[in-house]
Amino acid sequence: MIDVEEYNDWIAPIGRTLYIINTGEWRYQRPERDHKKCKKCGACFIFCPTGSVFVESSRYETDYEYCKGCGICARECRAGAILMVEEVTK
């Protein structure tokens, strides 16, 4: 069995195989959340394919270690609280 903590990486399905990949390295844009607009509906949490959305102190946040920048959370957010911006810090 693979020790995920040891690798500190994400196990991602590609095709019919699981690979150990840090999906955060794929990102060229990142979701920025406006907490004032957030209605706390949880849609970003439900639809994120990498499980990168989490709740901390009653706020939805993004784990940029694994967020691959697909933008699904921004598209699913009906409140318009998530904006995809260019990744500039990598």
Which CB, 6 or 36, lies closer to ligand SF4?
36
Min dist CB 9 to ligand SF4, Å, is 15
Which two structure tokens, joined as six digits, stand for 60?
Answer: 């939805």
Helix ranges (DSSP H) in 1-90:
4-7, 43-47, 72-76
Min dist CB 18 to ligand SF4, Å, is 17
Residues in the chain: 90
Return residues touching ligand SF4 (CB under 6 A): 31, 33, 38-44, 48, 50, 52-53, 60, 62, 67-73, 76-77, 79, 81-82
Min dist CB 53 to ligand SF4, Å, is 5
Which two structure tokens, joined as six digits, stand for 48?
Answer: 């994120």
Which CB, 9 or 31, lies closer to ligand SF4?
31
Which CB, 1 or 88, lies closer to ligand SF4?
88
Which two structure tokens, joined as six digits, stand for 77?
Answer: 């957010």
Residues 6+ apart with CB under 8 A from 49: 68, 70, 72
